[in-house]
Amino acid sequence: MTRKVWGGRFRGETDALVNKFNASIGFDWRLYAQDIEGSMAHCRMLAKQEIISDDEASLILEALGEIKGELDKGQFPLDDDYEDIHSLVEKALVDKIGAVGEKLHTGRSRNDQVALDVRLYERDALYRIVELIKEAQITLVRLAEDNFDLMMPGYTHMQRAQPVLVAHHLLAYFEMLKRDSERFRECIKRVNVLPLGSAALAGSTFDLDREMVSRELGFDRISENSMDAVSDRDFVLDFLFASSVLMMHLSRLSEELVIWSSQEFGFISISEAFCTGSSIMPQKKNPDLPELIRGKTGRVYGHLIALLTTMKGLPLTYNKDMQEDKEALFDAVDTVESCLEVMRQLLGEISFKGERLKKSAEEGFLVATDLADYLVGKGITFREAHEIVGKMVLFALEQEKELHELTLDEMKHFTRQIKQDVYEWLEPASSLDRRNMPGGTGPEVVKKSIAKAKQELKL
């Protein structure tokens, strides 16, 4: 016996290959809770509008509740013959209560149904992800606070550039996550529109109360155009874009953790519980977790490009191509959630090596810009000061010395303006202290940034 919800027009059975290729039940079973939630709201509305009777609605609602319980326990075989979760639930309903169950689909199509289910699913995921981002931000701020006294080299082009506070570096990621959180919250606004009532594409002949369904399901508003509502997957693309940017940020942080934990840098150590070893090299302690986060970024980008490509040539309205949205969305949700959780825990397993960081900030002419600024303070133009310090760096390199290791006489050889006070000026700590301007790495400003972040996070 066929289980098809569209069997009437067909004389025989569907080819097995077609069933297998066409079916989405293998993945869209994940929408079952949303599918049932949407069906219950639709059913209550049908009764209120007297399209079905109250008794019929009660029967349907009770049976849907039972089906939900059975699906929660994983009691349905996810047979390809069911095609998708919408058909499966409807079939289960009719099996339970007979013909009355067949009334549920009045004024509805799987086209508006699937758009609804995916919106509900994504909305749930968005709320969870916003919360996970917040937890990662809390860990970052705590890490910044715990390591407030530490400085490190800041880099451009992966070359040592200027000393910065470790806390300042960490808070850069706090800012990125803050923008990510904003982006995901923007997605909530756009996902929160009810498509149900659009039916197949043209709306319905029944007197549906769409506002009622919208209220019941917690939507902000109903969709304006039935053809757009069943064709639109922008909200999935928004999600995949926000996810891609978030993953890019997590990947950059991961990359830094990998580099910092290398012997070459030795800036941090990651606790053993969060590292792995090698099957052949007994000495290895590898940072697999940040590497995996970095690696998984690629698949999320892939989903964004895949769905953009799937959508680009589709004429209005629904086309089966759009069934491809789900695996992309589900995998992106899983990836983003697990990466945020792993990153949060990983950040709690990091210890900074203060001495090594400080030494690195003292070597490599990180205060050269400060020295140029010092000369500007003595009345030299910045361009000339830059030139002078460049020559001093060259000289120091030849002598195999740092700038602060040059004698005053050696320095005076480059300009008479240099005085004894230059040595204090060349301390990396004083370099930080001079940067207490808005957005700078000065300790006073960074302390304020931490306080502000904690306030935002309600800590």
Neighbours of 409 (CB within 10 A): 7
What the block records as the tokens of 326 is: 């789900």
Check if the beta carbon of residue 329 is closer than 8 Å to that of residue 118: yes
What's the CA gap between 325 and 231, in Å, rounded? 12
What is the closest distance, in whole angstroms, from the C-beta atom of residue 311 to ligand ARG in the complex?
13
The window from 10-18, 259-267, 315-323, 368-376 that contacts ligand ARG (CB under 6 A) reads 315-323
* Angle, vertex CA 303, rays to CA 300 and CA 304, nearest 5: 95
Three-state DSSP at 29 gives helix
Of 114 and 307, nearer to ligand ARG (C-beta) is 114
Helices (H), 98-165: 110-146
What is the closest distance, in whole angstroms, from the C-beta atom of residue 110 to ligand ARG in the complex?
4
Q: Does residue number 24 form part of the binding site for ligand ARG (CB under 6 A)?
A: yes
What's the CA gap between 67 and 451, in Å, rounded? 50
What is the closest distance, in whole angstroms, from the C-beta atom of residue 197 to ligand ARG in the complex?
16
What is the closest distance, in whole angstroms, from the C-beta atom of residue 326 to ligand ARG in the complex?
6
The window from 320-328, 360-368, 410-418, 434-442 that contacts ligand ARG (CB under 6 A) reads 320-328
Of 34, 39, 111, 204, the residue at the interface with ligand ARG (CB under 6 A) is: 111
Of 20 and 359, nearer to ligand ARG (C-beta) is 20
Q: Does residue number 319 form part of the binding site for ligand ARG (CB under 6 A)?
A: no
What is the closest distance, in whole angstroms, from the C-beta atom of residue 24 to ligand ARG in the complex?
4
Containing 36, the helix (H) or strand (E) segment is helix 32-48
What the block records as the tokens of 23 is: 């079916």
Check if the beta carbon of residue 195 is closer than 8 Å to that of residue 165: no
Which one of 278, 303, 351, 413 is the catalytic residue?
Answer: 278
Residue type, 93: L
Rounded to a whole number of angstroms, the CA Rg of the chain reads 31
Which one of 58, 157, 198, 303 is the catalytic residue?
Answer: 157
Check if the beta carbon of residue 443 is closer than 8 Å to that of residue 432: yes
272-306 residues labelled b (16+ CB within 10 A) or e (exposed): eebbeeeeeeeeeeebebbbebbebbeebbebbeb
Of 28, 35, 80, 122, the residue at the interface with ligand ARG (CB under 6 A) is: 28
SS3 content of the chain, % helix, strand, coil (to 5): 65, 5, 30
Three-state DSSP at 52 gives coil
The window from 110-118, 162-170, 353-361, 408-416 that contacts ligand ARG (CB under 6 A) reads 110-118
Check if the beta carbon of residue 382 is closer than 8 Å to that of residue 376: yes
- Pattern 155-184, binding to ligand ARG, x per CB under 6 A? ------------------------------
Check if the beta carbon of residue 147 is closer than 8 Å to that of residue 355: no
The window from 106-114, 121-129, 209-217, 339-347 that contacts ligand ARG (CB under 6 A) reads 106-114
Check if the beta carbon of residue 336 is closer than 8 Å to that of residue 247: yes
Q: Does residue number 318 form part of the binding site for ligand ARG (CB under 6 A)?
A: yes
What the block records as the tokens of 310 is: 């799937």
Query: How many residues line the site for ligand ARG (CB under 6 A)?
Result: 11
Q: List binders of ligand ARG among 77-96 (CB under 6 A).
A: 84
Check if the beta carbon of residue 101 is closer than 8 Å to that of residue 191: no
Respond yes or no: is residue 278 known to be catalytic: yes
What is the closest distance, in whole angstroms, from the C-beta atom of residue 111 to ligand ARG in the complex?
5
The window from 202-210, 273-281, 322-330, 404-412 that contacts ligand ARG (CB under 6 A) reads 322-330
What's the CA gap between 235 and 255, in Å, rounded? 30
- Residue 403's alpha-carbon distances to 210, 357, 455, in angstroms, are 73, 18, 41
Of 296 and 326, nearer to ligand ARG (C-beta) is 326
Q: Does residue number 5 form part of the binding site for ligand ARG (CB under 6 A)?
A: no
What is the closest distance, in whole angstroms, from the C-beta atom of residue 35 to ligand ARG in the complex?
10
Of 223 and 360, nearer to ligand ARG (C-beta) is 223
Of 114, 133, 229, 328, the residue at the interface with ligand ARG (CB under 6 A) is: 114
Q: Does residue number 110 form part of the binding site for ligand ARG (CB under 6 A)?
A: yes
The window from 62-70, 108-116, 157-165, 234-242 that contacts ligand ARG (CB under 6 A) reads 108-116
Respond yes or no: is residue 413 known to be catalytic: no
| Residues identified as active-site | 157, 278
Which positions lie near ligand ARG, rule CB under 6 A? 24, 28, 84, 110-111, 114, 318, 320, 322-323, 326
